Structure 1
Amino acid sequence: MKKTALLLLLFLISINISAQVTYEEFSSDKLGETRKLKIQLPRNYDDNELKVYPVVIVLDGDYLFEPVAGNVDYFSYWEDMPESIVVGVMQGGTRYDDCDYDDDNGLPADKGADFFEFLGLELLPYIDQNYRTAKFVIGVGHDFTANFLNYYLFKDPPLFNGYIILSPDLAPQQTGRLADRIPAIESQLFYYLATGTDDIKGLMEGTEALNAALKPIEAKNFNYYYDNFEMGTHYSLVGRGIPNALEKIFAVFRPISKQEYKDVLMKLETPISDYLIEKYQTIEDLFGLTNPIRVNDYIATATASEKKKQWESLKSIAEMATREYPETVLGPYYMGRYYEEVGEPKKAMRTFQGAFDKEEVDFITIDMMLDRADNIKSEFGY
């Protein structure tokens, strides 16, 4: 098990090298000092000057940056999450002061109050001004810094769209305040909470109590996830929690999987083409990204439409694919299939034949399309 974990860590570090990591010093008026930042840009950041990216702010950047940045690079490489800008805030000798709160009311105090304003009023505006950012921001923290991230839920709207809260060292009254505050938040909120069975006892108990308070909340905008890792220690749970959190937060972004095909598409009573459109509209609404529909998702929804005999849905998918990938056989193939099934073989034959000079996609080859055209010609005597 240890050997497997070591190999995974080495792999994440190796792929992280491919991304662009820079080091900056940020002069903060709020803190009255300079803070060091680690910033990882997506691999192809310089290739498309119009593309924007979500932002992941990592507190405790001294040790949390690499596991977060490695997972972000890995997940985005396989399109399981969007490419993102990762910003690590170095806090090696200052984390306790940065996260300071009043023992009586549990709210940021002294240096903690300054750090609260530093993140919201200085750091994020700086990232927005100097990098191409989408309007979706995640915060990541561990114990003291995890507790501190919760304070931003009380801004209106909250500073972050997503919270990855790993074994929080909760301030007094924090649990009750969060349970009261979250149902009133109108924007979409993603909240991931984790502990482990071998976590520090007090932190584990506090996290379990917070989970008990948040789990019953029924708010349409509140997307809540919780893990209590078997044999997870205060430190090992971090390595298990980060990929789980990213996977859950960006679930809708992922290409349509075999499971989604089986459990969702094949059980739809509504047009499958509508599901495809809504999936990408949700991606745009949540993450501020206008990505083209993936070829994989066209094939998955078109195949499901064929199996469920939703021919009008297949036609809509073919039309969208033709607009988005006009140089490929994708749209013509499914449009030809539509014509075949609705009793217009001549149109089907001509559609298949007309794609002879286009690029092949996945299993859809030129030879296959020409064979379908020849079969129609032979059967109907055209």
Structure 2
Amino acid sequence: MKKIILLLLCILCSLSASAQILYEEFNSSKLGETRKLKIQLPRNYDTNTEKVYPIVVVLDADYLFEPVAGNVDYFSYWEDMPESIVVGIMQGDTRYEDCNYDDSNFLPADKGADFFEFIGLELIPYIDNNYRTAKFVIAVGHDFTANFINYYLFKDPPLFNGYISLSPDLAPMMEERLPERIPSVESKIFYYLATGTDDIKGLMEISEELNGKLKELKSDQFNFYYDNFEGATHYSLVGRGIPNALEKIFSVYRPISKKEYKEVLMKMDEPVHTYLNEKYATIKNLFGLSNPIRTNDFIATATAAEKKSQWESLREIATMAKKQYPDANIGDYYMGRYYEETGDPKKAMRTYQGAFDKEEVDFITVDLMLDKADKIKEDFGY
């Protein structure tokens, strides 16, 4: 298992080489010192000048940056998450001072308080001002730094939208404070917690205790995920937790899957085109991204509409596809199918014929369109 994880990390790190890596030194007035940053920009960042990107802030970047950046690049390549800017804070021997908290109230103190303000008041504004960012930020931490990112949940509103907490070494009272605080947070929060059966015993036990409390919270705004990896140690769980966290946090962003088609589209009572509208509205509201609807998602919802004989819904999908992809034949195909099924074969034939010179999409070829037009012509004698 360890060899498999190491091989996966090597592959992910080589993939991240395709993205642009920048090394910067940030002079922090809050810390009174310079901090080294490692920043991965998405592929084609320089050419997609109108595009904005979520931010993934990585603490303990000395060893966490590469596995996070590699996974982000890999997942975004396959459209399982949006392309994102990964910002790593190099900490090295300062991580213990950075995460320092007061012995009486267990809140950031001394260097820990300075580091807290450095991230919130200096680093994030700097990234926003110098790069094209969307208003969705995730923080990643491991043991001490995993505990530290929790403090940002007590800001109003919280600094981060997503929290990836890998085997946290929680400060005293944190396992009580988090369940008390989260129900009062008005913004949508994604929280991922991971441990392993071979993790440090005290850390595994406290993660299990926190899981027991967080999973009981009832809130539409709080999305909680937990993994306890069989056989994973304090360090190997990181390689398994990061991809799981990204997959779960960005589940709504992914193209419609076979499972989603069967368990959601085919079982919903509402017209299926409403699911398409709601999916992309959610992507926009959550991640600040105005993405075009994927052709895969048009095909999935249109197929469901056909199977369920929702012809008006199919017309809506065809209209959206024609507007989204005017030079492709996908909208014309489904509009032709709508006309066929609603008793207007002549319009269907002309719609198929009119798209013969448009770009083909998936199975919708020129030959398919012309064959359907010829069959209508033969059947009705046009």
TM-score grouping bracket, smaller chain normalisation: over 0.9
Q: Paired residue for 1:263?
A: 263
**Offset, 1:105:** 1.1
CA shift for structure 1 position 4: 2.7
- Provide Cα deviations, 1:207-235, integer angstroms capped at 9, x if missing partner: 11111111100011000000111111100
Give the 3-state SS of the residue equivalent to 1:316 in structure 2. helix
Q: Is the 8 A contact 2:5 2:236 kept in 1?
A: no
Once the two structures are superposed, residues 307-361 of structure 1 have per-residue CA deviations (whole angstroms, 9 ceiling, x without a partner) of: 1100000000000000000001100000000000000000000000000110111
d(CA) in 2 for partners of 1:96 and 1:178?
A: 22
- Please say if 1:5 is aligned against 2:1: no
Q: Output the aligned Cα RMSD.
A: 0.7
Aligned counterparts, 1:291-330, within 5 A: 291-330=291-330
**Which ranges of structure 2 fall in alignment gaps of 5 or more residues?**
none
Contact 1:81 1:247 (C-alpha < 8 Å) held by counterparts:
yes
- Where does residue 57 of structure 1 map in the other structure? 57
**Matching residue of 1:23:** 23
Q: Secondary structure at the match of 2:93?
A: coil
Question: Secondary structure of the residue that 2:24 maps to in structure 1?
Answer: strand
TM-score by length of 2: 0.99
User: Does 2:198 match 1:193?
Assistant: no
Alignment size in residue pairs: 382
| In the alignment, structure 1 residue 340 sits paired with structure 2 residue 359 | no
- Measured after TM superposition, the shift of residue 11 of structure 1 is 1.1
Q: Following the alignment from structure 2 to structure 1, what is the Cα–Cα distance between the partners of residues 307 and 212?
A: 43
Residue by residue over 1:282-314, the C-alpha shift from the partner in whole angstroms, topping out at 9 and shown as x without a partner, is: 000000000000000000000110011000000
Q: Tell me which residue corresponds to 1:145.
A: 145
Per-residue CA deviations over 1:214-261 (Å, capped at 9, x if unaligned) read 110001100000011111110001110000000000000000001101
**Inter-partner Cα distance in structure 2 for 1:97 and 1:9:** 29
Aligned equivalent of 2:117: 117
Aligned equivalents of 1:66 and 1:10: distance in 2? 9
- Asked if structure 1 preserves the Cα contact closer than 8 Å seen for 2:31 and 2:115, the reply is yes
Measure the CA separation in 2 of the matches of 1:311 and 1:285.
29
* Alpha-carbon displacement from aligned partner over 1:56-77 (angstroms, at most 9, x marks no partner): 0000000000000000000000
- Contact 2:60 / 2:145 at 8 angstroms: preserved in 1? yes
- Larger mean CA deviation between 5-14 and 35-44 belongs to 5-14
Partners of 1:197 and 1:233 within 8 A in 2: yes
Cα pair 1:104 1:172 within 8 Å, conserved: no
Please state how far the C-alpha of 1:2 moved relative to its aligned partner. 3.8
Which segments of structure 1 move beyond 6 Å, counting only runs of 4 or more? none
1:24/1:37 contact within 8 Å kept: yes
Is contact 2:5–2:239 with CA below 8 Å preserved after alignment?
A: no
Is the 2:332–2:352 contact (alpha carbons within 8 Å) kept by the matching residues of 1?
yes
Structure 2: how far apart are the matches of 1:211 and 1:268?
Answer: 31
* Contact 1:103–1:172, Cα closer than 8 Å, also in 2: no
Q: Deviation of residue 10 (structure 1)?
A: 1.9
Q: Which amino acid aligns with 1:156?
A: D
Looking at structure 2, the residues matched to 240 and 274 of structure 1 have their Cα atoms a distance apart, in angstroms, of 35
Contact in 1 for aligned 2:2/2:236 (Cα 8 Å): no
Question: What is the identity, as a one-letter code, of the residue corresponding to 1:163?
Answer: Y
Task: Specify whether residues 167 and 291 from structure 1 end up closer, same or farther in structure 2 by C-alpha distance, changes over 3 A only.
Answer: same
Does 2:347 match 1:350? no
Letter in 2 for 1:269: D
Q: In structure 2, what is the equivalent of residue 93 of structure 1?
A: 93
Letter of the 1:339 counterpart: Y
SS at match of 1:264: helix
